[in-house]
Amino acid sequence: MKDPCSAPGELLQALAAHVAESARDTLRLSSELAEAHGNEVAMHMAAVWGGQVLYIPKGVHMQASKLHLQIFDEWTGHNQREIAMKHNLSVQFVYKVVKRMRLAVIARNQGDLFASDDGQ
């Protein structure tokens, strides 16, 4: 694969191509629509982020969040061992994820007890 930063503009071209490929594969768009969508996304990124030094993380946290949601969705209260085996994780890690996700759900549902009603 060619280095996407080897010449000005190639990063946007690569982005447009990747978005178009994804649109064809996941959204089942025609090649023409997918290419137009890819170009539109690339131009939007250029308008928003153009001229700036940009660091793009590898998405580890996003992937972890998806895994955590999947673990929590699969959890029935007594199947930690099966979940751990399915995802090649330790049982302790599954317990940790379930605990963290349960606390997040409680916090979301409970809200802030000290927030005023008038928005201040």
Q: Residues 66-85: pLDDT tens digits? A: 899 999 999 999 999 999 99
Top pLDDT among 64 and 53 is at 53
Res 23: pLDDT = 94
pTM of the model: 0.50
Question: Does the pLDDT value for residue 3 go beyond 70?
Answer: no
Q: Percent of the chain having pLDDT more than 70?
A: 82
Burial of 94 (0-12, 13-18, 19+ CB in 10 A): buried
Domains of the chain (ranges; CATH) run 10-49 (no CATH), 60-110 (1.10.10)
- Residue among 40, 42, 46 at smallest CA distance from 15: 42
Note the pLDDT of residue 87.
92
What is the tens place of the pLDDT at every residue in 80-106? Answer: 999 999 999 999 999 999 998 888 888
Does pLDDT of 21 surpass 80? yes
Give the confidence band of 107 by pLDDT, cuts at 50, 70, 90: confident
Counted residue by residue, the chain has a size of 120
Residues in CB range of 11: below 8 A, 6 or more apart: 4, 5
Say yes or no to pLDDT of 6 above 60: no
Q: What is the pLDDT of residue 60?
A: 64
